[in-house]
Structure 1
Amino acid sequence: MKAVQVERVEASNTTANPAVNKGVSILDFILRIVAVIGTLASAIAMGTTNETLPFFTQFIQFRAQYSDLPSFTFFVIANSIVSVYLILSLFLSIYHIVRSESRVSRIALVFFDSASMALLTAGASAAAAIVYLAHKGNVRANWFAICQQFNTFCERISGALIGSFIAIVVFILLISMSAVAISRR
């Protein structure tokens, strides 16, 4: 009697899986688009950030560019690499919408999503440390806060960081959803 009931429960779970997996796949696609927008906008915002301030005369000027700091350069490169990966992974996400029962490709996505999230987190963390110093400075190290003078520069780099950290949260959701979708089978 119990064996018959267990078989009926398992049969009812397998009939619900395709619809749930298709919904997870559609949500996966939407979240990937959000992550593409976040990483691409962050790379563009940081990569085009510069500000020039005159000092006494027009001939002597102070300039702030993202390329002056290696952490910001790494941030732009990391966000660009992750953006390209996310654009390429959209095709696999579409494949999962069509064939929601595929498992091997989901495992591959979890692996590459984890590696991309690690790269994105490293780039955002390195840039966040410099942004903090730009806003607050460090008197002991003789680093002065530059955001009082370079307002536009600091606003853009802070906005780029926000977009990148949003993409990191989206990656956490993507990896969790993929892990749940894999474990449901």
Structure 2
Amino acid sequence: MEKHEATTIEIEESSKERKGKAPLLAAAAAVDHARAGNRRGIAIFDLILRVSAATAALAATIIMGTTEQTLPFFTQFFQFQASYDDLPSFTFFVIAMSIATGYLVLSVPFSIVCIARPLLTAPKLLLIICDTLTVTLTTSAAASSAAIVYLAHNGNSDANWLAICQQFDSFCSRTSGAVVASFVAVALIIFMVVLSALGLRKH
């Protein structure tokens, strides 16, 4: 009789422990589900920003890479022409924005993985590292080209550099548009870095 009573007491205690653990497991599952939903929403927004940044970077690359203007007045010996590859800053701009465009396009599958598996941290960590490097590259290209565009519009009287945009108006307008598009891409990539950091938070 004593052994039977002890067995009965142990069974009752184990059943109580299971009943106590069940609400805790349900609460933990609910927290994980909510966390996954939040991270999935961030990943979807990141994908939209990534496609938009790739579009802006591609537009900047195409506009700058096709910028060329020849003035109508020229002689047999002299021809006034301006092209993006005449300036190293603009050449660097085209190369840098091309690299950024290629990276953003290639990073789209990783962003889709983050949507499908929102609790994975490895793809987010890889994206935040590469996005930070891309921000550095695109910012340097946009800033250096913006300085050249400013000089083309305003010149520099102290250095006797004349403004050329009165003559090469089409050249200046296209390079200015490319620089604006590049800064849009930079802003979007910076926002993507912030989103990736939010996605890596544990809580």
TM-score calculated relative to the size of structure 1: 0.91
Matches of 1:65 and 1:57 in 2, distance apart?
19
Structure 2 gap ranges (5+): 1-23
Letter in 1 for 2:104: L
Checking the alignment, whether the CA contact within 8 Å between 1:75 and 1:124 is kept in structure 2 is yes
Matches of 2:159 and 2:72 in 1, distance apart?
26
- Tell me the number of residue pairs that the alignment of Structure 1 and Structure 2 aligns: 180
Q: Does 1:71 align with 2:89?
A: yes
Q: Give the CA deviation at 1:139.
A: 1.1
Partner of 2:40: 22
Letter in 1 for 2:130: F
Paired-residue identity, %: 47
User: Which of 156, 176, 187 matches 1:138?
Assistant: 156
Letter in 2 for 1:65: S
Task: Give SS of 1:51's match.
Answer: strand
Q: Give the CA deviation at 1:96.
A: 0.9
Matches of 1:138 and 1:66 in 2, distance apart?
20
Letter in 1 for 2:187: V
Within 5 Å, which residues of 2 pair with 1:137-176? 137-176=155-194
Greater gyration radius = 2
Matches of 2:74 and 2:91 in 1, distance apart?
30
CA pair 93-56 structure 1, distance change in 2 beyond 3 A: closer
Q: Give the CA deviation at 1:105.
A: 1.3
Q: Give the CA deviation at 1:184.
A: 3.6
Of stretches 48-57 and 170-179 in structure 1, the one that deviates more from structure 2 is 48-57
Letter in 2 for 1:40: L
Partner of 2:78: 60
Matches of 2:76 and 2:178 in 1, distance apart?
30
User: Which of 30, 39, 43 matches 2:57?
Assistant: 39
CA pair 54-168 structure 1, distance change in 2 beyond 3 A: same
Task: Give SS of 2:78's match.
Answer: strand
Q: Give the CA deviation at 1:16.
A: 1.1
> Which structure's residues are more often strand, by fraction?
1
Structure 1 gap ranges (5+): 1-6
Matches of 1:54 and 1:119 in 2, distance apart?
37
Task: Give SS of 1:144's match.
Answer: coil
Q: Does 1:122 align with 2:140?
A: yes
Partner of 1:4: none
Checking the alignment, whether the CA contact within 8 Å between 1:67 and 1:73 is kept in structure 2 is yes
Q: Give the CA deviation at 1:172.
A: 1.0
Matches of 1:53 and 1:184 in 2, distance apart?
60
Checking the alignment, whether the CA contact within 8 Å between 1:54 and 1:60 is kept in structure 2 is no
- Report Cα offsets for 1:103-144 as digits up to 9, x if no partner: 011111100000011000011111011000000000111110
Q: Does 1:95 align with 2:118?
A: no
